[in-house]
């Protein structure tokens, strides 16, 4: 993997920031609290899809 080179046309430059890091961190915290409350006393089952 090559390092970031701003003048390399094959490597896209970052675009406009749509969600700030602070807003994203706040939302992740809220979702974590909701999941904790929803699954209190239960074991959630997570399924990962590898293909499809």
pLDDT by residue for the chain (52 residues), tens digit each?
Answer: 556 556 777 777 778 999 999 999 999 999 999 999 999 999 888 899 998 6
pLDDT for res 4: 57
The verdict on pTM exceeding 0.75 is no
- Residues 29 and 22 sit within 8 Å (Cβ to Cβ): no
Element (H, E) at 7: none
pLDDT for res 10: 78
Question: Under 8 Å CB-to-CB from 2, ≥6 apart: which residues?
Answer: 8, 11
Tell whether the torsion through CA atoms of 22, 28, 32 and 38 is positive or negative. positive
pLDDT for res 1: 55
Unique residue bearing structure tokens 């706040």? 26
């Amino acid at each position: 993997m090559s390092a970031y080179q701003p003048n390399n046309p094959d490597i896209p430059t970052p675009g406009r920031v749509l969600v700030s890091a602070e807003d994203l961190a706040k939302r992740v915290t809220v979702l974590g609290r909701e999941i904790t409350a929803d699954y209190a006393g239960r074991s959630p089952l997570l399924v990962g899809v590898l293909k499809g």
